[in-house]
Amino acid sequence: MAKKVVLAYSGGLDTSAAIPWLKEKYKVDVIAVTIDVGNERDFTAIKQKALKVGAVKAVVIDAKKAFVDHFIFPALQADAVYEGVYPLATALSRPLMAKLLADIALEEGASFIAHGCTGKGNDQVRFEVSINALAPDIKIIAPAREWGMTRQETIKYAGRHNIPVPVTVASPYSVDENLWGKSIECGVLENPWAEPPEDAYSWTKSAAKAPAKPAYIEIGFTAGVPVSLDGQKLDGVSLLQRLNELAGEHGVGRIDHVENRLVGIKSREIYEAPAAVVLLQAHQALEAMTLAKDQLRFKQKVAMEYADLIYNGLWFTSLHQDLAAYVKSTQRFVTGVVRIKLFKGSSSVVGRKSPYSLYNLGLATYDKGDKFDQSAAVGFIRIWGLPVRNQAQVQLLGQEEGLLSLSKLKAKSKGKRKADK
């Protein structure tokens, strides 16, 4: 009896070509597992395709709700953005997929789990680190890493095996998408000087073709989680789907980024993430209103660590568990509504309110009703500047050299006055 391999199957080029390759190379029965994290595709057709190409069994799992509740929204609460740009859409889906693949492999008694990642990308690390943590006795096969074919050769291999793929040599984009965003790479996009052609985008309109009038939307949050859009309560999946449509229609969410991959190379990546861009912006605006300065500053440091952890495939670690507990604590007062303006490729916060707002109009206003005691500023400034004043008197005023040398500054000033005369 042949051994079994559970293949993470997307229906794309690499995983479709992997089915006959696995059968030829390892003499195994292939169980194709397709996980729906908001890909917006015909999963019935994908399942039929897997069986037609040679899988003995094909399974489709609807994981959208789990993805939103347990991966996307916790990352949103953390403000996790890799290198200040990438909302981590693909990276966030991988630990969930790894968990589901491991579960099915154990249920089926499979000896192997296979994925379609290359040896140059981050996903191989994310999948394998997670699978090894969850099911250490199951071996991993990475066909695209082993077979040594270029992308063009893989397309030809698929053609020889009568495998229909939505990729051609003329249009060789590699695409991954879910509710949190879409990534596009390969082809002309590998040239960082080349402007991405419009055919690379499908979720967003160009700014030139976006509506001439701006749209205003209101997003409601409870404890850092978005719960409503324009006053209508929505589940997480529906809210993201609707927001992707609205923001994408106005050209919001295009990202062009040269990022540092985990494997040590730089890669030009194109992303479309309308909902992610808007929600992160709105969430941060609400945090600015409801968190104290020290909380915000420290949380920004945590956000960077949290983003790196996700990007680097370390979801199933104690560090993640600890950071997640801290982030959850910071969100207990992040409740309110944020108003966003969408216009010609940009989104901007134009209003925010919260029952837990730390903004006090009586202290902030310069008009009637000002409750700020300005006379207290004199003493505050004196105490605040005490260490600066002390160090300047003892160390800085007498030095002849250095960036803060006052003698050089005086000499330059005198020279300038002479020249002016």
Element holding 283 (H helix, E strand): helix 274-290
Q: Which two tokens stand for residue 368?
A: 């009637």
Side-by-side strand order, sheet with 181-185: 174-178, 181-185, 266-272, 254-260
Q: Give yes or no: 41 in active site.
A: no
- What are the φ/ψ torsions at residue 205 (nearest 5 degrees)? -85, 155
Apex 162 CA angle, 160 and 165, nearest 5:
105
271 - beta bridge partners? 183, 255
Element holding 312 (H helix, E strand): none
- What are the φ/ψ torsions at residue 216 (nearest 5 degrees)? -115, 130
SS3 323: helix
| Neighbour-count burial of 400, counting CB atoms closer than 10 A to its CB (0-12 exposed, 13-18 middle, 19+ buried) | exposed
**Which residue has 């700020």 as its token pair?**
372
What percent of the residues of the chain are helix, what percent strand, and what percent coil, each to the nearest 5?
45, 20, 35
SS3 286: helix
Q: Give yes or no: 413 in active site.
A: no
- What are the φ/ψ torsions at residue 377 (nearest 5 degrees)? -65, -35
Q: Give yes or no: 94 in active site.
A: yes
The single residue of 123, 126, 130, 352 carrying the catalytic annotation is 123
- The CA distance from 330 to 378, in Å, is 34
Q: Give yes or no: 373 in active site.
A: no
| Neighbour-count burial of 339, counting CB atoms closer than 10 A to its CB (0-12 exposed, 13-18 middle, 19+ buried) | middle
The single residue of 111, 174, 267, 405 carrying the catalytic annotation is 174
The single residue of 94, 126, 254, 352 carrying the catalytic annotation is 94
Residue 169: CB atoms within 10 Å: 10
Phi-psi region of 132 (alpha: psi -120 to 50; beta: other; left: phi over 0): alpha
Instruction: List active site positions.
Output: 14, 94, 123, 174
